[in-house]
């Protein structure tokens, strides 16, 4: 996202950008929090999670280097109804919310980029809801892994089965069984919170159609992405 911005916009934002580390599992925002910063992930992944009153939770979308955490800032809101948690550790650039809000008002290209990204995020949210309702844990895990891979520069994901279970809104035992199947098939290698995808092509075949629906629409909307960051 940052790389796709016009040079004049990048020049104005640069003095306000702060590179920060995002450790695995860190909560960046809780539901109802006022958004003081927007965050542009570089090699990290952030999950938007809806938390029920009884404590149950489920992921509704993932944000990587294709996007931004804090869409409410330029959509007219100042807070978020979701929890934002670091799904895969790494780095990100942090920008004061008021700086982006002012730039959004005055630059049409930035306006267009952010709105197109927001539409792609809405597509991902809608398809995730359908997938969680109609597809097996095995298929959900495959979709989730593929969406995560598209948003980092490597095939290595650092995360625990407990975190994955919380993201998918299922029992940890279900994730353990599904991950075990993928490991036996030679699709992934999992050990101590580190998951390596060995066969992406097979992972795509095992996934439900939800991944391809999201990827196709995001590819269409996010055609501003540099080739080296474009979802594979």
Say which residues have a Cβ less than 8 Å from residue 141's Cβ, sequence separation at least 6. Answer: 164, 168, 175, 178, 179, 182
Residues 118-137: pLDDT tens digits? 999 999 998 988 888 889 99
pLDDT band at 230 (very low <50, low <70, confident <90, very high): very low
Q: What is the DSSP string of 112-150?
A: HHHHHHHHHHHHHHHHHHHHHHHS-HHHHHHHHHHHHHT
pLDDT band at 232 (very low <50, low <70, confident <90, very high): very low
Alpha carbon distance 19, 17 (integer Å): 7
pLDDT band at 170 (very low <50, low <70, confident <90, very high): confident
Distances (CA, A) of 126 to 53, 122, 192, 203: 22, 6, 32, 22
226 or 104: which leads in pLDDT: 104
Task: Check residue 163 and give its pLDDT.
Answer: 81
Asked whether the beta carbons of 142 and 132 are under 8 A apart, the reply is no
Task: Check residue 81 and give its pLDDT.
Answer: 81
Residues 65-109: pLDDT tens digits? 889 999 999 888 777 888 999 988 899 999 999 999 999 888 888
Task: Check residue 229 and give its pLDDT.
Answer: 44
Phi, psi (rounded to 5 degrees) for 56: -65, 150
Look at residue 192 and tell me whether its pLDDT is greater than 80. no
Mean local confidence (pLDDT), 137-162: 88
Alpha carbon distance 174, 137 (integer Å): 7
Task: Check residue 225 and give its pLDDT.
Answer: 60
pTM for the model stands at 0.83
Residues 7-40: pLDDT tens digits? 889 999 999 999 999 998 899 999 889 999 999 9
Give the rounded percent of residues in the chain with a pLDDT score beyond 70. Answer: 96
pLDDT band at 224 (very low <50, low <70, confident <90, very high): low
If DSSP states are collapsed to H, E and C, what string results for 158-218? ECCHHHHHHHHCCCHHHHHHHHHHHHHCCCEEEECCEEEECCHHHHHHHCCHHHHHHHHHH
Task: Check residue 220 and give its pLDDT.
Answer: 85
The DSSP symbol for 83 reads E
Mean local confidence (pLDDT), 50-58: 79
What is the chain's length? 232
Tell me the CATH class for 2-108: mainly beta
Distances (CA, A) of 181 to 46, 138, 156, 208: 26, 8, 18, 16
pLDDT band at 226 (very low <50, low <70, confident <90, very high): low
Distances (CA, A) of 110 to 3, 103, 196: 12, 8, 35
Question: Tokens representing 56?
Answer: 């149950």
The alpha-carbon radius of gyration of the chain (Å, integer) is: 17
């Amino acid at each position: 996202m940052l790389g796709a911005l016009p040079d004049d916009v990048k020049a104005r934002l640069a003095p306000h950008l702060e590179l920060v580390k995002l450790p695995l599992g860190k909560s960046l925002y809780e539901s109802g929090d006022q958004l003081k910063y927007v965050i542009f992930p570089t090699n990290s992944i952030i999950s938007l999670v809806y938390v029920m009153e009884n404590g149950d939770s489920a992921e509704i979308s993932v944000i990587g280097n294709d996007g931004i955490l804090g869409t409410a800032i330029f959509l007219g809101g100042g807070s978020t109804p979701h929890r934002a948690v670091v799904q895969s550790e790494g780095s990100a650039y942090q920008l004061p919310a008021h700086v982006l809000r002012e730039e959004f008002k005055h630059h049409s290209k930035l306006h267009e980029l952010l709105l197109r990204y927001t539409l792609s995020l809405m597509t991902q949210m809608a398809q995730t809801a359908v997938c969680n309702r109609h597809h097996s844990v095995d298929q959900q895990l495959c979709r989730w892994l593929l969406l995560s891979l598209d948003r980092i520069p490597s095939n290595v994901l650092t995360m625990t089965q407990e975190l994955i279970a919380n993201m998918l809104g299922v029992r940890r035992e279900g994730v353990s069984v599904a991950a075990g199947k993928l490991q036996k098939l030679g699709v992934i290698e999992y050990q101590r919170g580190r998951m390596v995808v060995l066969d992406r092509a097979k992972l795509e075949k095992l996934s439900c159609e939800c991944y391809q629906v999201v990827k196709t629409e995001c590819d269409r909307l996010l055609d501003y992405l540099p080739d080296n960051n474009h979802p594979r």
